[in-house]
Amino acid sequence: MKKTTLLLVDDHELVRAGFRRLLEDGDNVTVVAEANSGEQAVQDYIKYKPDVVVMDISMPGIGGIGAVERIIARDPDAKILILSVHEDSVFTSRALQAGAKGFIPKRSAPEQMLKAVMLVAQGKMSIDPAIAQQIAMQKLTGSDNVFDVLSQREFEVFRLLAEGKTVNDIAEILSLSPKTVGTHHTSIKQKLDVSNSAELARLAIRSGLLEA
Task: Say how many CA atoms lie within 13 Å of 155 toward its Cβ.
Answer: 22
| Together in a domain, 123 and 163 | no
| Together in a domain, 178 and 101 | no
pLDDT band at 38 (very low <50, low <70, confident <90, very high): very high
User: Distances in Å between the alpha carbon of 20 and those of 58, 86, 113, 188?
Assistant: 18, 21, 12, 38
Q: Looking at 122, 139, 156, which one is the last position of a domain?
A: 139
Q: Looking at 139, 164, 188, which one is the last position of a domain?
A: 139
pLDDT exceeds cutoff 90 at 5: yes
Q: Give the model's pLDDT for residue 84.
A: 81
Give the DSSP letter of residue 126.
E
Q: Are 145 and 89 in contact (CB under 8 A)?
A: yes
User: Distances in Å between the alpha carbon of 200 and those of 146, 184, 206?
Assistant: 12, 13, 10
pTM metric for this prediction = 0.80
- The answer to whether residue 212 sits within a structural domain is no
| CATH number of the domain that residue 173 is part of | 1.10.10.10
Domain count, the chain: 2
What gap in Å lies between CA 95 and CA 155, rounded to an integer?
11
| Together in a domain, 109 and 50 | yes
What's the mean pLDDT in 167-196?
Answer: 91
| Together in a domain, 28 and 118 | yes
| CATH number of the domain that residue 132 is part of | 3.40.50.2300
Q: Looking at 81, 108, 139, which one is the last position of a domain?
A: 139
Q: Provide the residue range defining the domain that includes 31.
A: 4-139
